Structure 1
Amino acid sequence: MLSLLNYTGLTIVGYTAVVLGIVSLMPFLVMSSIAIPKIHPHRWLSLGQKGVEKDWNLYFNTLFWNLNFWDSVSTMAGEVDRPQKTFPVALLVAVVFTCVAYLIPLFAVTGSVSVDQSLWENGFMANAAEIIAGKWLKIWLEIGAVLSAIGLYEAQLSSNAYQLLGMADLGLLPRVFAARSKWFDTPWLGILVSTAICLGFSYMNFTSIISSANFLYSLGMLLEFASFLWLRRKMPGLKRPYRVPLSLPWLAALSLVPSAFLVVIMVYATKVVYLVSGLMTVGGIAWFFLMRLCKSKKILQFSNGDVGEVNGED
């Protein structure tokens, strides 16, 4: 049912995401306001409760998962008016807003609630809301969390669907993936395939899902950074919607910081994550050669990747 919303188009998805974002953040704002008189700043300086083991794997993966996938918006650049001006401003505002939206409730709860830290696990923020204001705020916050998850699903589904469409336009996937709805001009097959994949992985627990997603995302980001530096060195004059105003040495130094963090995330992965990510990576490589075979044998129809064809001028 949620996937049907994506079928109606990015405009509706965008406005829906804004409404869901506002509604889901309201209980956190109310909780933070009520917590102000109860805050004891010295609690922010705590290094952790003795006897409670620190789960660094879960911490790094949750932190990374909450703050990644910014590059996913690039898959929808073709649907945005003047992306070279819109994207930098939108990303800057979104990054600042996201960090503030995480930090304010976190400081409010850690400064006002004193409980055994072994109780800090999935869902504790709702329990903290009950401690601060009562049962009514806990229920409201849980509703906000559900709405937030819906918004996240809609945004990620849009990104995945348009990525498949773009790969089809470039001849990396069969041309059928570039098919759009006659009524809403949306990539219906990409939406359908992405929905099926989400359902296929829904059996995994939260930690395994975000850890696997982070591992695969880290591999992809390392490839993106390498491609970014290689293209700047080999094709500095290549036409692009936006150019990072730095020289190659500075770009390399800039890329080293997130690359180091990506490696840390991959090192902290569990055996299950290595297994799932390894199988998916091998499957992706096998799929690449399968598509190359289908293209050479003309088993399926592929676009040739021409600019005119990509822009719908063929």
Structure 2
Amino acid sequence: MSPYLALVVAALPRARPANFRLRPTKFKPAAMVSVAYWSLSGFDSVSTFAGEVEAPHRTLPRALLCGCLLMVVCYVLPLTAGVLADEEWAHWKDGSLTHVAQLVGGRWLGGWVLASSALSNWGLFSSELLEDSFQLLGMAEAGLAPRFFAVRHPRLGTPLLAILFQLVILSALIGFDFESIMCIDNFFSAAAATLEFAAAVQLRRRRPAMSRPFRIPCGTAGVAALVALPIVIALFVCVSTAMETRATLTIIVVGLAFGLLLYLPLWLRSGAAEAEGAEPAAPSEEGGEQGAAGDSCAPRVNSPPRAIS
């Protein structure tokens, strides 16, 4: 965050409020929503490794609040300073913020921002690898994915085969440009969020007495009203990103087909159990709405969560 604060300070002497009145020559609302969604989403991913966190009922809400505030500051301040200092902001493209830093502070500031961006990209890669790997691990332990994804490293306890599987997927995607990767990631992220919102409403409707350590303080209708707009936004992101290019559409279709093939045996087993009169496995009683987001699949729980009234 330090280089971006330095960028803001260095841009102040060059600030021109008139730059805000300039309009981009090309404006794509769908692309804007897609970039904003990619930049501001992903907070639900923390549920997949909540079992690895000490006292998650206390730690996670604080961490999410601090992370959200810092994220907004890190976006708003540098971008505002850049717009005020660079009258060519309407023509920005990938990497332009480094150019703005060099423009207002010299080569040293440009290099600092570039190094910070590289470290940030590594952080994004590491966090995505962590989230996806533990999600696969939890799904395998819950019977929603092949059992071999539940294999852990004998000493470290990390989901070894799930990590290797993620690396194979990343190797296949590394040849795509940023916009294509963003579209693919946004589609599956928005689709997952839609299912999570729908599951939260369904759990409130069908299991109102379920233990909910993190309970939204309103009834079923209130929960449905809260998630209505996010669902609309998520569906818009799904449609707009799927239609971006043929390549992204192909990857999305292949990913959906692969997921359906993994789910088919589970669906068949569930149907057979219902036909025999056995009751299907219920969601975790410690999950509530959060369980819909994935924490019921967390591999370990270090301390029991405390209910919030």
Give the C-alpha shift of residue 293 in structure 1.
7.2
Contact 1:171-1:305 at 8 Å conserved across structures: no
What do the CA deviations read for 1:116-135 (whole angstroms, capped 9, x no partner)?
633x1111101111111112
Question: Residue type matched to 2:258 in 1?
Answer: G
Give the C-alpha shift of residue 268 in structure 1.
2.4
Question: Residue type matched to 1:274 in 2?
Answer: L
Alignment partner of 1:147 out of 119, 122, 136 = 119
Q: Which residue of 2 aligns with 1:218?
A: 190
Give the secondary-structure state (helix, strand or coil) at the position aligned to 2:64. helix
Q: Distance in 2 between matches of 1:109 and 1:126?
A: 10
Question: Residue type matched to 1:86 in 2?
Answer: T
Q: 1:150 to 1:229 in 2, by over 3 A?
A: same
Name the TM-score, length of structure 2 as normaliser.
0.82
Q: 1:174 to 1:232 in 2, by over 3 A?
A: same
Alignment partner of 1:66 out of 39, 48, 71 = 39
1:261 aligned onto 2:255: no
What do the CA deviations read for 1:87-118 (whole angstroms, capped 9, x no partner)?
22221111111011100000110011112633
Alignment partner of 2:254 out of 262, 275, 279 = 279
Q: Which residue of 2 aligns with 1:101?
A: 74
Q: Distance in 1 between matches of 2:251 and 2:203?
A: 31
Alignment of 1:5-20 (within 5 A): none
Give the C-alpha shift of residue 305 in structure 1.
9.7
1:112 aligned onto 2:85: yes
Give the C-alpha shift of residue 85 in structure 1.
2.3
Q: Distance in 1 between matches of 2:61 and 2:209?
A: 21
Q: Point out the more displaced range, 266-275 or 217-226.
A: 266-275
Q: Distance in 2 between matches of 1:246 and 1:92?
A: 21
Unmatched 5+ stretches in structure 2: 272-280, 285-296, 302-309
Q: 1:137 to 1:245 in 2, by over 3 A?
A: same
Q: Point out the more displaced range, 199-208 or 279-288.
A: 279-288
Alignment of 1:4-83 (within 5 A): 25-44=1-20, 46=21, 48-49=23-24, 52-83=25-56
Give the secondary-structure state (helix, strand or coil) at the position aligned to 1:173. coil
What do the CA deviations read for 1:186-210 (whole angstroms, capped 9, x no partner)?
1111111111111111111110110
Give the secondary-structure state (helix, strand or coil) at the position aligned to 2:262. helix
Alignment partner of 2:170 out of 198, 216, 239 = 198
Q: Point out the more displaced range, 217-226 or 34-43.
A: 34-43
Unmatched 5+ stretches in structure 1: 1-24, 297-303
Q: Distance in 2 between matches of 1:311 and 1:81?
A: 10
Give the C-alpha shift of residue 33 in structure 1.
1.1
Give the C-alpha shift of residue 311 in structure 1.
5.8
Q: Distance in 2 between matches of 1:305 and 1:246?
A: 23
Q: Distance in 2 between matches of 1:43 and 1:149?
A: 29
Give the C-alpha shift of residue 258 in structure 1.
1.1
Structure 1's consecutive aligned runs of 4 or more residues displaced over 3 angstroms after TM superposition are 290-296, 304-307, 309-312
Question: Residue type matched to 1:276 in 2?
Answer: I
Q: Which residue of 1 aligns with 2:293?
A: none
1:85 aligned onto 2:58: yes
Give the secondary-structure state (helix, strand or coil) at the position aligned to 2:93. coil
